[in-house]
């Protein structure tokens, strides 16, 4: 097939109407990933040896992810969302708790099984330029995972590279394949990262702030690309972000994370309409829309800063900053998940 033919085919295959965040393939399709009571603690050493405490980055996180479902994890820096993500990717070992992927526990795997797992899970990094090796062409970047995962035929490798490049709309493909990362624009670099994550045909994509380094005009394009891939491949996506406004256009469910705990879990629309946890409310209040009215108002921001994860406050970890703290309860006992309305869970004593 000539380049022109391929281009023509790609142009025709571009959907005129991008589907919304895949409602059809969402829940009720079986559980792909199950995270149960996950703890990720990092040991603090005194003088290089001798135990000095734990950094409790992830402290009791439980959720299920279905095939083809998109969830977002929202939280501030240091809340443990990156540790959660890296544990799911198999880069950290869980201290306690299980990660079950397609019925298999991935906590204590052999190198061989981990390789299989990693071909099932794609990773889209935050900074595309930092994530792409500067001395490798697009061809090599995409060829390497295939070679490592035992695709021996050169022709098959080439076919899969062409296919994935067309899927991320890096066309004409032949122009892009010999290019090195520095020759690409920010948006194209992020497309390369997505292509690399997609090349093994994963069932789950973990996207760590995939658009935060990009310009506003390109962001939407990349989000739509991810949404299109999610729908066409029935891909489950874990979208890690601190920006609530992009979540709305991408994910079905949202988890709000604070100091190592998930404090609120529900559908995105429900969260925006009816935020329950005081921390979620503060986040929503603090996220601006472009509106000239903003000029006139001072925002209500909870005082203080997120707690140290070495010695988190007892009880609810948000209680020192919370304006609705119940003395004798919030500062004593850790709140379990309450379900004040169906499918809307929040770990807050106000809803007991």
Partner 1 sequence: MSEVSAPDKNVLRVEDLVMYFRTQKGAVRAVDKVSFDLGYNEAIVVLGESGCGKSSLAKAILRLLPRNIDTYTGKVYLEEVETMGLSEEEFRRQVRWVKMSLVPQAAMNALNPVLRVGDQVAEPMLVHHGVTKEQAMAQAKRMFQHVGVPVDFINRYAFELSGGMRQRVALAMSLVTAPALVVLDEPTSALDVLTQANIFNTLKRIKQDLQISFILITHDIATSSELADRAVVMYAGEIVEVNDSTTFFTTPLHPYSQKLLASVPRLRAVQEPEFIPGQPPSLVDLAPACRFAPRCSFRFEKCDEDPPIIRKGRIQVRCWLHA
CB of 146 to partner 1, least distance (A): 30
Among residues 94, 123, 140, which one has the least CA distance to residue 238? Answer: 123
Instruction: Tell me: cis bond preceding 332? Omega within 30 of 0 counts.
Output: no
Among residues 17 and 327, whose Cβ is nearest to partner 1?
Answer: 17
Token pair of 233 as six digits: 């491949």
The CA–CA distances, whole Å, from 126 to 135, 167, 211, 217, 310 equal 20, 20, 7, 17, 26
CB of 129 to partner 1, least distance (A): 12
Among residues 164, 179, 162, 225, which one has the least CA distance to residue 3? Answer: 162
CB of 204 to partner 1, least distance (A): 24
CB of 294 to partner 1, least distance (A): 5
Token pair of 97 as six digits: 């708790």
Q: 298 by DSSP, 3-state: which?
A: coil
CB of 173 to partner 1, least distance (A): 18
CB of 144 to partner 1, least distance (A): 28
CB of 176 to partner 1, least distance (A): 14
Cβ-contact 214, 191 below 8 angstroms: no
Among residues 330, 219, 346, which one has the least CA distance to residue 270? Answer: 346
Among residues 76 and 102, whose Cβ is nearest to partner 1?
Answer: 76
CB of 189 to partner 1, least distance (A): 13
Among residues 26 and 186, whose Cβ is nearest to partner 1?
Answer: 186
CB of 218 to partner 1, least distance (A): 7
Cβ-contact 59, 96 below 8 angstroms: no
Among residues 97 and 210, whose Cβ is nearest to partner 1?
Answer: 210
Among residues 263 and 282, whose Cβ is nearest to partner 1?
Answer: 282
Check the CA dihedral 210-307-263-277 and report its sign: negative
Burial of 151 by CB count in 10 Å (0-12 exposed, 13-18 middle, 19+ buried)? middle
Cβ-contact 314, 332 below 8 angstroms: yes
- Residues 214 and 127: their CA atoms lie apart, in Å, by 9
- Residues 257 and 280: their CA atoms lie apart, in Å, by 9
Among residues 121 and 276, whose Cβ is nearest to partner 1?
Answer: 276
Among residues 32 and 282, whose Cβ is nearest to partner 1?
Answer: 282
The CA–CA distances, whole Å, from 248 to 20, 256, 299, 309 equal 11, 13, 22, 29
Among residues 64 and 243, whose Cβ is nearest to partner 1?
Answer: 243
Q: Are strands 104-105 and 121-124 parallel, antiparallel or unpaired?
A: unpaired
Among residues 244 and 330, whose Cβ is nearest to partner 1?
Answer: 244
- Residues 135 and 345: their CA atoms lie apart, in Å, by 47
Binding footprint of partner 1 on the chain (CB under 8 A): 76-77, 185-186, 215-221, 224, 242-246, 248-249, 272, 282-292, 294-295, 298-299, 301-302, 305
Among residues 206, 220, 205, which one has the least CA distance to residue 250? Answer: 220
């Amino acid at each position: 097939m000539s380049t022109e033919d391929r281009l023509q085919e790609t142009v025709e295959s571009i959907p005129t109407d991008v589907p919304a965040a895949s409602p059809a393939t969402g829940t009720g399709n079986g559980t792909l990933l199950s995270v149960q009571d996950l703890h990720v603690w990092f040991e603090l050493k005194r003088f290089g040896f001798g135990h000095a405490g734990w950094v409790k980055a992830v402290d009791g996180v439980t959720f299920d992810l279905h095939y083809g479902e998109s969830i977002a994890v929202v939280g501030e820096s240091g809340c443990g969302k990156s540790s959660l993500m890296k544990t799911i990717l198999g880069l950290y070992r869980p201290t306690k708790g299980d990660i079950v992927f397609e019925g298999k526990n991935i906590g204590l795997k052999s190198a061989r099984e981990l390789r299989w797992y990693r071909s099932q899970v794609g990773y889209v990094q935050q900074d595309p330029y930092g994530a792409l090796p500067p001395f490798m062409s697009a061809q090599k970047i995409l060829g390497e995972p295939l070679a490592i995962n035992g695709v021996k035929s050169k022709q098959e490798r080439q076919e899969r590279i062409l296919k994935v490049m067309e899927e991320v709309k890096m066309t004409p493909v032949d122009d892009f394949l010999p290019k090195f990362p520095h020759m690409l624009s920010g948006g194209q670099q992020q497309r390369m990262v997505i292509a690399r994550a997609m090349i093994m045909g994963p069932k789950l994509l973990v996207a760590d702030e995939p658009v935060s380094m990009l310009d506003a005009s390109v962001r939407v394009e990349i989000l739509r690309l991810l949404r299109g891939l999610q729908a066409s491949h029935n891909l489950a996506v874990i979208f890690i972000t601190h920006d609530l406004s992009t979540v709305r256009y991408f994910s079905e469910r949202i988890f709000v994370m604070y100091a190592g705990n998930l404090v609120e879990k529900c559908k995105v629309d429900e969260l925006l309409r009816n935020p329950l946890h005081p921390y979620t409310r503060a986040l929503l209040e603090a996220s601006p829309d472009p509106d000239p009215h903003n000029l006139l108002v001072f925002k209500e921001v909870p005082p203080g800063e997120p707690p140290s994860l070495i010695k988190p406050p007892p009880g609810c970890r948000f209680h020192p900053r919370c304006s609705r703290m119940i003395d004798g309860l919030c500062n004593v006992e850790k709140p379990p998940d309450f379900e004040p309305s169906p499918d809307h869970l929040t770990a807050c004593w106000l809803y007991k």
